[in-house]
Structure 1
Amino acid sequence: MPWTLTSRPSRRQLLAGTAGAAGAALLTGCTGGGGPSGADTGIPLERRIREGAVRDSERLLERYDATTAAHPALAARLAPLRGAVAAHTAALAFPGPAASRPSSTSRPLSAGASASPAATGSPSVRPDPVPPKEADALTELADAERSLSEARTVALAGAPGELARLLASVAACGAVHAYLLTSTPTPGAAS
C-alpha cells in the first residue's frame, strides 16, 4: 500500500505539537531553585519570582484604581477584573511571615481614592496619567494586562513546579482580561 502525505495537519495536531514542544522546553529549563541563579543574591529563586510577581500585580492594581478614578462610569465593568488581579496578588504572595502583612489588594479602592506606595509596598512610582477617553483608557489597561501576561509566561521557564503552574494560570487570566477590556459589551448586558 503506497504511503500518501496528507495535505496539512489538523488544528488539533498543531496545537498538540505546540503544547508538547512548549512542555518539553519548560521541563528542560526547570531547576530546584537552589542553583547558581539563587546563589548570587542569597534570596531563593521562588521567593524572588513571587515578590516580583506581587510587585507587578500591585502596579496593575494601581492602574485599575487610576482608571476607575479617572472614569467612574467604568467602575462596574472594571470591578470584577480588579478583584481577580487582587486575588492573584494574594495567591502569588510568598507563604509565611511576609504574606501575613496587611495588604491593600484585598478590597477595591473607592472611585476617588488612589493607592499610596506605602500602602501597596511598591516603590513610589506614580502610574502614567490615564487617557481622557474611556476607550483609550481601556486599551491602555488591556495593554498592561497583556504585557504582564506575556512577562509571566516568560517567567515560567525558571519557576519551580507549583509556582510555574500558578504563573501559567495567572498569565492565562491576564490574557482573558485583555480580551474583555477590548471587547465591546453586548447591548443589555451589565457593563
Structure 2
Amino acid sequence: MPWTLPSRPSRRSLLAGAAGVAGAALLTGCSDDRPAAGESGIPLERRMREAAVRDSTRLLERYDATAAAHPALAARLAPLRAAVAAHSAALAPASAGSPSPSASASGGTGAAAPAPGGEPVPPKPAEALTALADAERSLSEARTIDLAGAPGELARMLASVAACGAVHAYLLTSTPGATS
C-alpha cells in the first residue's frame, strides 16, 4: 500500500511546530524592559532579580490603587497582595535591601485612584478586579518567558512566582463562595 500524505497535520507535528516557534521567539531576544545577556557589567541573575522586584513593586502599587479606589475589596485583596510582597522580598538580590513592599494599602475615598502607568482604576469593582487579574496574568506570562534565560535557582523561583500569579488571576476573577 503506498504511503499518502495525511489530510491534516498530526498533533505531534503541530506541537513540534509550536515548540519551534516558541524557541525561535525566545532566541530572537524580543526586548522590552527585561535584562539582556551582556547588557552591563552587572551579573545576569542580579539584573533579572532587580527587574522581577520592579515588576512586583508595580503590581503592589496596582493592588494599593485598587484597594484605595474600592475599599470594600481591600479584605479580599489583602492576602493576594501579601503574597506579591513576599515574592518581591524573595526575588530581591541578596545584597539589596527590601524595597518595603510590605506597607499596607491605605483606605481610600472610593475615587478612581491612578494605577501605575497613569491608568485609572476602573470605577466598578468587578472591572477593577478584572484589570488587576489582567496585570497578574501578564506578569505571570512574562515571568514564564524569562525562565528560559534564568540561572537554575532563579528559574525555579520565577516558575513558582509565575504559577502563583496565574492562581491570583483566577482568584481575582472567580466568584467567592461559588460552587461548581
- TM-score, with structure 1 as normaliser: 0.69
- Going from structure 1 to structure 2, the CA distance change for 1:86 and 1:127 (only over 3 Å counts) comes to farther
Q: 1:108 aligns with which of 96, 104, 111?
A: 104
Identity of aligned residues (%): 72
Q: Which amino acid aligns with 1:75?
A: A
The structure 1 segments of at least 4 consecutive aligned residues displaced by more than 2 Å after TM superposition are 37-40
- Whether 1:171 and 2:162 are equivalent positions in the alignment is yes
Whether the aligned pair in 1 keeps the contact of 2:68 and 2:105 (CA below 8 Å) is no
1:70 maps to what in 2?
69
Whether the aligned pair in 2 keeps the contact of 1:153 and 1:171 (CA below 8 Å) is yes
Report the Cα distance in structure 1 between the residues aligned to 2:79 and 2:58, rounded to whole angstroms: 17
2:143 maps to what in 1?
152
Unpaired segments of 5 or more residues in structure 2?
1-11, 28-35, 110-115
DSSP 3-state at the match of 2:101: helix
DSSP 3-state at the match of 1:58: helix
Deviation per residue, 1:134-153 (Å, 9 max, x gap):
00000000000000000000
Deviation per residue, 1:30-71 (Å, 9 max, x gap):
xxxxxxx54341111001100000000000000000000000
How big is the shift at 1:104?
A: 2.5
Higher relative contact order (CA 8 A, sep 6+): 1
Whether the aligned pair in 2 keeps the contact of 1:62 and 1:127 (CA below 8 Å) is no
1:122 maps to what in 2?
none
2:112 maps to what in 1?
none
2:132 maps to what in 1?
141
Count the aligned residue pairs.
143
- Whether 1:59 and 2:58 are equivalent positions in the alignment is yes
Unpaired segments of 5 or more residues in structure 1?
1-13, 30-36, 114-124
